[in-house]
Amino acid sequence: MLDMRFLRENPELVKENIRKKFQDHKLPLVDEVIEKDAAYREAKQRADYLRSQRNKISKQIGGLMAKGQKEEAEEVKKQVAEMAKELAETEQKEEALSAEIRKIMLVIPNIIDPSVPVGKDDSENVELEKFGDPVVPAYEIPYHVDIMEKFDGIDLDSARKTSGNGFYYLCGDIARLHSAILSYARDFMIDKGFTYCIPPFMIRSNVVNGVMSFDEMENMMYKIEGEDLYLIGTSEHSMIGKFIDTITPESELPKTLTSYSPCFRKEVGAHGIEERGVYRIHQFEKQEMIVVCKPEESMEWFEKLYHYTVELFRSMDIPVRSLECCSGDLADLKVKSIDVEAWSPRQQKYFEVGSCSNLGDAQARRLGIRVRGADKKTYFAHTLNNTVVAPPRMLIAFLENNLQEDGSVRIPKPLQMYMGGKEVIR
């Protein structure tokens, strides 16, 4: 959410940012919110005046009564009553305008970083760098479900009976591999100095509205019937919510956290849910990284975070590339975002396995996440999040890149201790 003062002073810049995101239907909102803001400030000024006058005149009543000037006191009482009535009406108007302004401000997109490439959608995202050589072996790489089924490692049919499409049972070595990857990712981030957390898996609506846009919420979140609770789509939601309405001393920043959680998503949209596969599903598990820092440090952390993901994947012999999201592919709260994509030797192309985002002060402004500087003044923090690893999608990349010609799967050295010392699964 933008600062109202910033929008008021830079309306054309805000409009240009909207155009860069190809959301021209939102352009009229800028003038509308400026008009409402002017009316709000006028109402606030009038309310402040009425309060001061009411208090000033009210003090006269006691003096007049003490002097026996009852008629004059009654006249003053009438003035106070009239002021109280107008004040109540003005305060009601002020409150209504404040709510309308917030509603509009939640829809106006955050200002993107100047380095973000301008483009309409994900087809115009820009490749930055490749890490590792993408290899296509001489032997066939089967579909990931076929690989898992050869190990008796997945049961989609039973999951469809219990839960429908978009769910799965993982079993045996495949289930163990899934857990091993998460455990390795956890320890990998702890070794980077991050604090490990397991957060609540449900959050209230005010936290949901603080961490994401309304459109994202509608397309992603599952609502708990009869409760003000939503199942989280990623642990970032509850981890950022952890800091709601807090003031952190600047000396305690940055806050660097890595969190594990199950994730629940509707996955509404063009991609849909696969009948047979675990690429896009309703339920999965993820290790996440979250940073709360000073504004001047957020871009430095942004670079660090996505490179951590690259380092993790390369340690498991998986080639990856980084892809910068263009303006039209950025969610409204994001300042800048980079996807990490893993190589699929079966498809002979890269596919997304993680996303790193700098949200500037957008989430902090919505949730009241402040920092107290050395000068005792407060300001809004910057927040960032990035996927460490998200199996079972990551399993697709792992199995395809570590599948050997005889159908066995090689276990890279960093994972072997989490797999009971196994170097290969057959």
CA gap 387, 286 in Å, rounded: 7
Q: What is the CATH number of the domain that holds 376?
A: 3.30.930.10
Q: Is residue 112 part of a domain?
A: no
CA gap 131, 136 in Å, rounded: 15
Residues 248 and 388 grouped into a single domain: yes
Residues 11 and 160 grouped into a single domain: no
pLDDT band of residue 269 (cuts 50, 70, 90) is: low
Q: What is the CATH number of the domain that holds 60?
A: 1.10.287.40
Express each pLDDT in 327-361 by its tens digit.
999 999 999 999 999 999 999 999 999 999 999 99
Q: Is residue 115 part of a domain?
A: no
Q: Is residue 221 part of a domain?
A: yes
Q: Is residue 116 part of a domain?
A: no
Residues 70 and 145 grouped into a single domain: no
Residues 223 and 353 grouped into a single domain: yes
pTM: 0.90
Residues 211 and 331 grouped into a single domain: yes
Residue 75 has a pLDDT of 77
Residues 70 and 153 grouped into a single domain: no
CB 382 within 8 Å of CB 294: yes
**Average pLDDT of the residues in 76-86:** 84
Of 338, 282, 318, which Cα lies nearest the Cα of 401? 318
Point out the least confidently predicted range of 126-140, 163-177, 215-229, 375-389: 215-229
Per-chain mean pLDDT for the chain: 93
Residues 152 and 258 grouped into a single domain: yes
Residues 158 and 278 grouped into a single domain: yes
Q: Is residue 110 part of a domain?
A: no
- Position 272 pLDDT exceeds 60: no
Q: What residue numbers bound the domain in which 85 lies?
A: 4-105
CA gap 335, 382 in Å, rounded: 10
Residue 279 has a pLDDT of 87
| Domain's final residue, options 105, 130, 147 | 105
For the CA atoms of the chain, what is the radius of gyration? 27
pLDDT band of residue 276 (cuts 50, 70, 90) is: confident
Residues 101 and 126 grouped into a single domain: no
Amino acid identity at 310: V
Residues 47 and 141 grouped into a single domain: no
Q: How far lies 387's CA from each of 158, 186, 238, 360, 411, in Å?
A: 29, 12, 15, 18, 22
| Domain's final residue, options 71, 105, 139 | 105
Identify which has the larger pLDDT, 397 or 54. 397
As for how many domains the chain has, the answer is 2
Give the other-Cβ count within 10 Å of 60's Cβ: 16
Identify which has the larger pLDDT, 317 or 63. 317
Residue 273 has a pLDDT of 61
- Position 270 pLDDT exceeds 50: no
Residues 326 and 420 grouped into a single domain: yes
Q: Is residue 366 part of a domain?
A: yes
Q: Is residue 181 part of a domain?
A: yes
CB 338 within 8 Å of CB 355: yes
CA gap 44, 42 in Å, rounded: 5
Point out the least confidently predicted range of 45-54, 149-158, 223-232, 374-383: 45-54
pLDDT band of residue 275 (cuts 50, 70, 90) is: low
| Domain's final residue, options 80, 105, 130 | 105
Phi, psi of 408 (to 5 degrees): -80, 165
CB 381 within 8 Å of CB 371: yes
Q: Is residue 278 part of a domain?
A: yes
Residues 300 and 367 grouped into a single domain: yes
